[in-house]
Amino acid sequence: MTAKLILRKKEYEIRHGMTIRSALKKLEIPPESVLPTRGGELVSEEEILREGDVIRLVPVISGG
């Protein structure tokens, strides 16, 4: 009944049916700081999460 979002070593279970952007907002992850991928392919954050989805979030902030 859920989808999974993975950021670095953390996994988040979230209800499917909402957009990735809404899920990120719920999890308090700024959408600008990550890129969502499904099966290694880039997907838009406006994509709706499907049941059983595994979305790996690629961190994009770098620097020092």
Partner 1 sequence: MAMRCRHCGQPAVINMRQHKLALCGEHFLAWVLKTTERTIEKYRMFSREDKILVAVSGGKDSLALWDILHRLDYRADGLYIGLGIDEGIRYSDESRTLTERFAEARGLHLTIVDVPGEYGVTIPEMAQRSRRGQGKPCSVCGLVKRHVMNRIARDGHYNVLATGHNLDDEAAALFGNTLRWQSGYLLRQSPVLEAAPGLARKVKPLVRFYEREMAAYALLRGIEYIEEECPFSVGAKSIAYKELLNQLEARSPGAKQGFYLSFLQAKKEGLFNLPSDEPDAPLHICPTCGQPTYAPGECAFCRMVAAVQR
Residues that bind partner 1 (CB under 8 A): 30-35, 37, 41-48, 58-64
Q: In whole angstroms, how close is the CB of 14 to partner 1 at the nearest point?
A: 18
- Residues 6+ away with beta carbon under 8 Å from 56: 6, 7, 36, 37, 38, 40
Q: In whole angstroms, how close is the CB of 31 to partner 1 at the nearest point?
A: 6
Count Cα neighbours of 54 within 13 Å in the Cβ-side half-sphere: 4
Q: In whole angstroms, how close is the CB of 62 to partner 1 at the nearest point?
A: 6
Would you say 2 or 47 has its CB closer to partner 1?
47
In the block, tokens 């290694």 appear at: 40
